[in-house]
Homo-oligomer: A and B are copies of this chain.
Amino acid sequence: MQKIGIVGATGYTGFVLISTLLTHPEVKITLITSNTYKGKKISGVFPLLKGIFEETLEPTDEDHKGKCDAYFLCLPHGSSMEMARRLYDGRAIIVDLSADFRFEDAALYEKVYIPHIAKELIPKAVYGLPELYRDRIKGARLIGNPGCYPTSAILAVYPLVKNGLIAGDIFVDSKSGVSGAGREAKLGSMFCEVSEGFRAYNVGVHRHEPEIQKEVNKFAPMKVTFVPHLLPMNRGILTTVYSRLKEHAATKDILALYRKTYDGEPFVRIVDEGAYPDTRFTRFSNYCDIGLKVFEDGRIVIISAIDNLVKGASGQAVQNMNIALGMDEAAGLKSVPQYP
């Protein structure tokens, strides 16, 4: 059994990691940490776990190096790079769920976020989107787990940009459930400020835009416009992408291209022509569902759906760990989407 540490275990991604890893046949959670709740049982923070998992939270700010075979960092950006530096030993896998190791280009990271204090680790880090970078993830010891929005957006456009089929702008209209904002009390995440309302936020200035942009630009030069919106629901991201193909193609041919591109992928499902994804169909699972329509003049609409806390965060993190540790990529991730 591989020993697993979850650093910063009391947020939503921490909870989903715990509940996912508890069903994983080859790992054992041996370390959970929190500065706020240190010394408390995790089942006191998440009463759902009562009778199932009753371990005690250790302080995050302690030396945990060498204790585990894999660490998941569920810390704010900034704290994460510091922790990575403390834990990195070239042996244990570190999957960082913050933005700190998502950018190959430190200068771009620093433009979008803050000064980077662990630049020496950036060349060792791999962007953990398995559908694009599985081979590199295999040998990695430090994995920058992608953002939730970028996961949904990049998987939606990858077959097109990889094959140079897009002309012009890429408009990415994303809608996320509230859990994407984390588990800290703030006015904008309160029930009465979210329920029965819908709004865009961070229009054109969201930090996931450069993350999408840099991935798109590895293949093609076009501009990405990204507008996130806040859905009055807990989980799920639906991303609707608008663009134009260089040359008109039939919807079924582009769907065939998507099926071919993602052939063998355990967690990408291309829906049938005329059908479109619903976040409901991926809820509590690691799937990314994708559907699309091409118009008679080459305009194209692509729609993708994920569970932001699973494929958009903790599930993908486990998928990355599985790959890096050479285990069954889907181990612990075989749950069926749940409904209603």
A56-91 residues with Cβ-Cβ distance < 8 A to B are: none
Bound Cα distance A195, B242 (Å): 26
Cβ–Cβ < 8 Å partners of A271 in chain B: 47, 50
Given that A47-B278, A196-B235, A275-B47 are known contacts, is A242 also in contact with B240, CB under 8 Å in the complex?
no
Interchain CB contact (< 8 A) of A192 among B12, B47, B240: B12
Bound Cα distance A276, B339 (Å): 26
Contact between A195 and B233, CB atoms less than 8 A apart = yes
Bound Cα distance A231, B199 (Å): 11
Bound Cα distance A234, B195 (Å): 7
Contact between B276 and A223, CB atoms less than 8 A apart = no
Contact between A192 and B340, CB atoms less than 8 A apart = yes
Interface presence of A37 (CB below 8 A): no
Minimal beta-carbon separation of A26 from chain B (angstroms)? 16
Bound Cα distance A177, B142 (Å): 43
A179-204 residues with Cβ-Cβ distance < 8 A to B are: 179, 183, 185-187, 189-201, 203-204
Cβ–Cβ < 8 Å partners of A233 in chain B: 195-198, 232
Interface presence of A30 (CB below 8 A): no
Cβ–Cβ < 8 Å partners of A280 in chain B: 48, 196-199
Cβ–Cβ < 8 Å partners of A23 in chain B: 334-336
Minimal beta-carbon separation of A16 from chain B (angstroms)? 8
Q: How large, as a class, is the contact surface on chain A? A: 35 or more
Bound Cα distance A185, B51 (Å): 31
Q: Of the 9-residue stretches A108-116, A122-130, A296-304, A318-326, which lies at the interface with chain B?
A: A296-304
Interface presence of A164 (CB below 8 A): no
Contact between A240 and B200, CB atoms less than 8 A apart = yes
Minimal beta-carbon separation of A149 from chain B (angstroms)? 14
Contact between B340 and A12, CB atoms less than 8 A apart = yes
9 inter-chain pairs at a CB distance below 8 angstroms, sorted by A residue, are A22-B336, A47-B281, A48-B339, A171-B242, A175-B198, A178-B191, A198-B280, A200-B238, A229-B240
A171-B242, A191-B234, A196-B340 given; 16 more Cβ-contact pairs under 8 Å: A19-B337, A52-B336, A169-B244, A183-B190, A185-B185, A190-B190, A191-B194, A191-B232, A195-B196, A199-B238, A199-B279, A199-B280, A203-B303, A232-B232, A232-B233, A284-B284
Across the A-B interface, give the 5 residue pairs with the lowest CB-CB distance, nearest first: A197-B280, A192-B340, A199-B278, A48-B337, A171-B242
A residues engaging B (CB < 8 A)?
Answer: 12, 15, 18-19, 22-23, 46-53, 168-169, 171, 173, 175, 178-179, 183, 185-187, 189-201, 203-204, 223, 225, 227, 229, 231-236, 238, 240, 242, 244, 269, 271, 275-285, 287, 289, 293, 295, 297, 299, 301, 303, 305, 334-340
